[in-house]
Structure 1
Amino acid sequence: MSYQFSVADVGFLAAAAAEIAEVDRLPLTGASYLADVRTARGLLGDRAGAVLETVLLRRRAVSKVEDPGRWLFTDAALQQATPLLVARHRAARFAGRDVHDVTCSVGVDLAELAAVAGRCLGSDLDPVRLAMAAHNCPGVALARADALRPVSRGTAVFADPGRRDAAGRRRWRPADFAPPLDALTAAYPGRDLAVKCAPGIDLADVPWADEVEIVSLDGQVREACLWRGGLATARRRATVLRTEGPQWTITDGEPDDCPVRAPGAWIVDPDGAVVRAGLVRHYAARHRLGQLDERIAYLTGDTPPPGIRAFRVLEHGHYTEKALRAALRRLGIGRLEILVRGLDVDPNRLRPRLRLSGTAEASVVLTRVGRTPTAFLCRAERTS
């Protein structure tokens, strides 16, 4: 169970740089943890728990904030905190606006909003998180307030409702969020609004959203952001962020004239943000690709988009396990990546039945072309 911070702990930690640095010298690994806890207790007495938890949380926070060594977190707040690149991308859409983060927690999103906004206010009901936000975001105006009882006027609003219960289990129904999503949006009528949600949210539950943006980071879909009012600029948007490399976005305002065509030299599996946003055809049209089947998200063409992991087709044909096993044996494939869409195939069950042997490596894309189960033996390559 994670340590439960008090407001007094926050006050101590804000002035305890030397004590925290001393504990941070300990390895705190599985093998050393009990001995390290005894050492920390010998140094700090009753304060050891707060300092140990802070050191461990800061070590986990490297993808969430710049300079995590100066931040204070709770475990639950860090779990829900937005990765830095995602928070920075979202904040950029508020540039120059007055903005109120009505669920500011410890201030991860608030810090990025404050860097670009005209004026910025953060509020939260939790006094511990609010005290941490005051430490983490010096100079930003803060208020203890219920997100459902507005304390600002005329600002754009950002919210990140809690999506875990007291036991840490995920909540999936918007009515179970804290605060409930419908009540949150109703509390700010006529206000420009952005709400961070899990990417699997059912869009039928959020008819008020003027734009749904799905965001991925380094190939993993991280969030849906629901935009309302003047903050919305499209109906659907996919944004692909990378720690290193190009970042880009695509919307439903772009053309979607994409043919169904015969397999080309490459298979392209669009980023998950593109698929979840329903923008596969728009992405294909942008890069002059075609669909293998109009109901399946795999694309094909003779020139793949730059900067992605694509699949160069070595051979393809009607899929049966027997035929695939024979082709893998003939090519000496001992390591195989299995991708499946449109077929009832479980890669984890299929793999042992293929009896792989050899030293070569390949990828196989199993899908349906029309009514025909089809296997594409490929070599995965990073395009330039």
Structure 2
Amino acid sequence: MGYRFGRDDVAYLAGAAGRAALAEVDRLELTPATHLRDIEQVRRAHGDRTAALIETVRLRRKAAVKLPGAAEWLFTDDALQQATPALVARHRAARLAGRAVHDVTCSIGAELAELVEVCPAVIGSDLDDVRLAMGAHNLSVAARHPVELDGDIGARLSVAGQNIVLAKADALTPTTRDTVIIADPARRADGRRTYDPAKLQPPLPDLLAAYAGRDIAVKSAPGLDFDQLGWDGEVEIVSLDGAVREACLWSPGLTEDGITRRATVLDSRGGTTTLTDAAPDDIPDLPPGDWIIDPDGAVVRAGLVRHYAAKHGLWQLDPRIAYLTGDTVPVGMRGFRIEDRFELREKTLRQELARRDCGALEILVRGVDVDPDALRKKLKLRGSTPYTLVLTRIGRAGVVFLCRAVAPTR
């Protein structure tokens, strides 16, 4: 759970004395090996502020990859876990450029920090006093402009013609007009991650009902059953550096006609590729080609495997399996060159891999019930040549492709 911050902690940490103390604590290692020594040193210098100082430095270090540029921000552990990665938030903000936006679950301001760069008016609200206070501080750091919170948790800031307002409000009670609503319901219930829309906080059905007819974008877990939800807008699945990060529900007024599914693939070098269900999905039914391609998780989760295949001249190994095959590898994708093909039998695999002096072995599985780690142990590999096994099925038969992995081309 981490340290439980209060508003007095935020006021201290955001002030001159707190900033100086944080700089001092940041010079410590704060590793398991130095934990007791570091705590004692901070306690001697800062007394009852020790826990807040150490937790803040720890969270800032943890946030460095997810939120670059947030080295002076304030966090709670839960808020940092749920915060949208900066590149994902920047992508969403770009889709909302020029609009007035109200983030009704603004928390510590990670989304707001990107919105203020492209939107003329930005409102953030939350029910958590501490997160709002942290959000005000974080926005002031991002904008290089001081923000003051009054006793009722209200803040107003104007930078380069942009109006930024923070306020305490319930996400289920509309408090603005003519704004695009952004919401990020908490995805935990009773301490566990939930995929039930009704158990999100606030509940997703209640949230959508509260803003019926409004332009709204709702961040959610990619594992939600969007068909069961009956969403009539667009579902966008976003990945970053190969990992699926989130789904975003876009109301019909915020997307193009006819688009209900979108896959967006981001990478930290600035690359962005997008695919929608408006693209063609006609692909041939052919035997395996020279290569196997495992599409990005955003493409798979969005149900756009056939669309991706059609775009790149590929086809499926099996119509019910997401692995693709072809005679070339799309630029930027990792490919697996097929060297051989076997039945899915452990004895056959052990013999063939031993004969090829296999050592390091990557095992990819889709469509068959095999535990890669357990299989790797059973194969007892002692060679020196690296290979990749792709375990899948074609029709009803399990099949194994022996491959050599090739890094993406740029």
What is the TM-score normalised by the length of structure 2?
0.91
Question: Counterpart in 2 of 1:226?
Answer: 249
Deviates most, 348-357 or 278-287: 348-357
Residues 191 and 229, structure 1, Cα contact 8 Å, conserved in 2:
no
Letter in 1 for 2:132: L
Residues 107 and 133 in structure 1, CA contact (< 8 A), matched pair in contact too: yes
Give 3-state SS (helix, strand or coil) of 1:26's partner. Answer: coil
Q: Which residue of 2 aligns with 1:286?
A: 311
Taking the aligned partners of 1:92 and 1:4, their CA distance within structure 2 comes to: 34
Aligned match of 1:145? 169
Structure 1 residues not aligned, in runs of 5+:
none
Give ranges in structure 2 of 5+ residues lacking alignment: 141-156, 158-163
Q: Which residue of 2 aligns with 1:256?
A: 281
Which of these residues, 232, 235, 257, is aligned with residue 212 of structure 1? 235
Residue 214 of structure 1 aligns with an amino acid whose one-letter code is I
What is the alpha-carbon distance in structure 2 between the residues aligned to residue 245 and residue 116 of structure 1? Answer: 17
Taking the aligned partners of 2:136 and 2:103, their CA distance within structure 1 comes to: 14
Residue 116 of structure 1 corresponds to: 118
State TM-score, norm by structure 1: 0.97
CA-CA distance at 1:44 after TM superposition: 1.0
Letter in 2 for 1:207: G
Question: 1:65 aligns to what?
Answer: 67
How far 1:245 moved relative to its partner?
6.2
Deviation of 1:252 after TM superposition, in Å, equals: 0.2
Between 1:312-321 and 1:225-234, the stretch displaced more is 312-321
* 3-state DSSP of counterpart to 1:30: coil
- Corresponding residue for 2:132? 130
* Aligned match for 1:364, one of 389, 392, 397: 389
Out of 321, 326, 333, the position equivalent to 2:351 is: 326
State the 1:381 CA deviation. Answer: 0.8
Aligned to 2:301: 276
Instruction: Choose which of 211, 224, 241 in structure 1 pairs with 2:266.
Output: 241
1:247 shift after superposition: 2.1
Q: 1:336 to 1:245 in 2, by over 3 A?
A: farther
> Secondary structure, in 3 states, of the residue corresponding to 2:325?
strand
What secondary structure, in the 3-state scheme, does the structure 1 residue paired with 2:91 have? helix
Give me the whole-angstrom Cα distance separating, in 2, the residues matched to 1:63 and 1:251. Answer: 29
- Percent of pairs identical after alignment? 59
Contact 1:192 1:231 in 2 (8 A): yes
Aligned length: 383
What is the letter of the counterpart of residue 371 of structure 1?
A: R
Tell me how large the CA RMSD over aligned residues is: 1.3
Tell me what 1:298 maps to.
Answer: 323
In the alignment, the residues of structure 1 paired with residue 174 and residue 199 of structure 2 have an alpha-carbon distance, to the nearest angstrom, of 20
Shift, 1:320, TM fit: 2.1
**Distance in 2, Cα, partners of 1:276 & 1:298:** 13
Give the conservation status (yes or no) of the 8 Å contact 1:195–1:227: yes
Larger deviation, residues 67-76 vs 93-102: 67-76
Paired position in structure 2 for 1:172: 195
Question: Which of residues 163, 176, 181 in structure 2 aligns to 1:157?
Answer: 181
Give the aligned residue type for 2:263.
A
Which AA in structure 1 matches 2:174?
Answer: P
Instruction: Look up the match of 1:52.
Output: 54
Aligned CA distance change for structure 1 residues 371 and 170 (closer, same or farther; 3 Å): closer
Closer/same/farther in 2, CA of residues 165 and 371 from structure 1, 3 Å limit: closer
Residue 347 (structure 1) aligned with residue 372 (structure 2): yes
1:174 aligned partner, one-letter code: P
Letter in 2 for 1:358: G
- In the TM superposition, structure 1's runs of 4+ consecutive aligned residues that sit over 6 Å from their partners are none
Residue 161 of structure 2 is matched in structure 1 by none
Is residue 2:2 matched to residue 1:2? yes
Q: CA deviation at 1:367?
A: 1.4
1:316-373 CA-to-partner distances (Å, cap 9, x unmatched) read 2333222222211111001111111222222222222222121011001111122332
